[in-house]
Amino acid sequence: MPKFKIRHVTKYVYEVPVRDSANQIMLYPLKDEFQEVVKHQIAVSGGVPVEVHLDYFGNEVGTFTHVNPHLDLVIDSKLIVVTRSKAAPVESLNTEKMWQELDSIKTQFNFYEFLKSTPFQGEQDVMEMATELKSKNSPLSLLKELCSYVYTNFKYKKGITTVETTLDEVWKIKSGVCQDFAQILISMIRLSGIPARYVSGYICPNKNGMRGEGATHAWVEAYLPFYGWLGLDPTNNCIVNDTHVRLAVGRNFSDCSPVKGTYRGTSEHTLEVSVSVSYEDGHIIEGANEIVEHEPVTSFTKNSYRRHQEIQMQQ
């Protein structure tokens, strides 16, 4: 049962004072038999209180509004969490029976949202691949094949995609980061007839050099009959284990975005995000600060998360 200490700091810096900053944060780890939150503190600059509620998917969501003029906005999350391994699924069940069970749950309300695939240019290719794989594989084997396909055929490259990059663009350039890998794999799994959902969180491997370590991360959970939700990390081509800390689950990135909001004031601002992870042995992995400079848009400024929301609603 590894114990992780995680600090996640989000900082907006403005050229002149802004006001009416309304935000939503999803920085509260999921709590279940595989994840125990020992201690968690979230502080917002200016002493702004945060109200917490549960969303449609069972995630804890914080909301706050910083009304007074301010030159920066800092959201500081300090977390101590214990994770536990989940027994891996085994190929002991009849393959035909499992596919029949997956067919039967397609009309169930709990899975409907996780079976709807976003149309994209590679959809026909994926459908043909899925048909071939389903003819000779169990659902578990198919999931492993698809995870390996994304890992092998997509290049992990920072800085070439954003939260606004579409599936079509990722499919075309065959490159991106963890959220792109997750979105592609989700579409492939859903087109195969298996429910899949997006997971945001942290990956905390101890000195093993995995992609995305010591930073915010994204992966996929797929539903297996007679087992439950199985975590798949296409960025590292592995089944999720006790080195992954889950923050939120949803249909896509928009449902799980760690921080998003809007404010009134200058369009000139920067965003800095940093994550640090420490272990019981004292070893620390520092996530590199990511600084994003936004171009002026209008007198009523919207940060990238808000812009992403609007684009999603327009599609």
Same domain, 224 and 299: no
Phi-psi region of 95 (alpha: psi -120 to 50; beta: other; left: phi over 0): alpha
Secondary structure of 73-120 as H, E, C letters: EEEEEEEEEEECCCCCCCCCCCHHHHHHHHHHHHHCHHHHCCCCCCCC
Token pair 């404010």: residue: 263
Same domain, 159 and 185: yes
pLDDT number for residue 233:
97
* DSSP letter, residue 161: -
Same domain, 227 and 112: yes
| CATH number of domain containing 280 | 2.60.40.2250
Total structural domains in the chain?
2
167 is a domain residue: yes
| 177 phi/psi in degrees, rounded to 5 | -120, -170
Boundary (domain end) residue, out of 206, 221, 255: 255
51 is a domain residue: yes
- Please tell me the pTM assigned to this model: 0.86
Look up residue 210 and give its two tokens.
Answer: 């995995």
| CA distances for 15 relative to 71, 268, 282, angstroms | 7, 6, 38
212 is a domain residue: yes
Same domain, 239 and 171: yes
Domain that holds residue 18: 3-83+256-314
Q: In angstroms, rounded to a whole number, what is the distance separating the alpha carbons of residues 217 and 101? A: 31
224 is a domain residue: yes
**pLDDT by 10s per residue, the chain, length 315:** 889 999 999 999 999 999 999 999 999 999 999 999 999 999 999 999 999 999 999 999 999 999 999 999 999 999 999 999 999 888 777 888 999 999 999 989 889 999 998 888 889 888 888 888 888 899 999 999 999 999 999 999 988 998 889 999 999 999 999 999 999 999 999 999 999 999 999 998 655 556 555 568 999 999 999 999 999 999 999 999 999 999 999 999 999 999 999 999 988 889 999 998 887 655 555 444 443 333 333 223 344 444 443 333 222
CB of 82 closer than 8 Å to CB of 30: no
Token pair 């800390």: residue: 245
| CATH number of domain containing 164 | 3.10.620.30
Residue 288: Cβ within 10 Å count? 11
- Helices assigned H by DSSP within the chain: 95-104, 109-112, 123-134, 139-153, 167-173, 178-191, 253-256, 304-314
pLDDT number for residue 212:
53
pLDDT number for residue 7:
94
* Residues 6 or more apart in contact with residue 130 via CB below 8 angstroms: 142, 188, 191, 192, 193
Q: In angstroms, rounded to a whole number, what is the distance separating the alpha carbons of residues 13 and 72? A: 4
88 is a domain residue: no
Look up residue 203 and give its two tokens.
Answer: 């990956």
